[in-house]
Amino acid sequence: MEKINCSEKEIAHKFAMPLRTLKRLRKEQKLGKDICFTAPHNHHVIYNIANFEEWFEKNKQTAVWTLNTQMKAVVQSLKDNGWWPDGRKKNGGDKWFKANQTYKMNQESEKLEARGYSGHYKKPNKVDVALADVFEDEHKAND
């Protein structure tokens, strides 16, 4: 026999979610009454497994997004844009930043070219336009 409903702890264990996150989502009313509810004259919170699985697939980012993962994303963004996490600029300053961004844009341009973006839309892609602007600025600076 297959279980239809289960407790909050079982859902947290099954979906590898912190129990506090489940309680917070329930209190913020992000989970509907078809997903989590209490039985009449009872205080135990019960979750409908099928409805919760459906909600979890739609809202996976909300369910697993914690402060720690948010901080990791911010630190990675700082590193990618030429900053140390404590707010100092990396050695090389703007020159390093421009070289790094140009390199990344070149990689992205190759991916778009491989997908046939320019041939399909009959116009240059946004990355190529941005690269052209960078190269034009560098050319003017050299003259």
Residue 14 has pLDDT above 70, yes or no: yes
Residue length of the chain: 143
Q: What three-state secondary structure class fits 32?
A: coil
Instruction: Give the C-alpha separation, 66 to 9, whole Å.
Output: 18
Which tops the pLDDT comparison, 23 or 136? 23
Helices (H) then strands (E): counts for the chain: 8, 3
pLDDT at 48: 92
Residue 118 has pLDDT above 80, yes or no: no
- The confidence band for 64, taking pLDDT boundaries of 50, 70 and 90, is low
This prediction has a pTM of 0.45
Range 34-59 average pLDDT: 88
Range 80-100 average pLDDT: 68
Q: What is the distance, to the nearest Å, from the Cα of residue 107 to the centroid of all Cα atoms in its chain?
A: 21
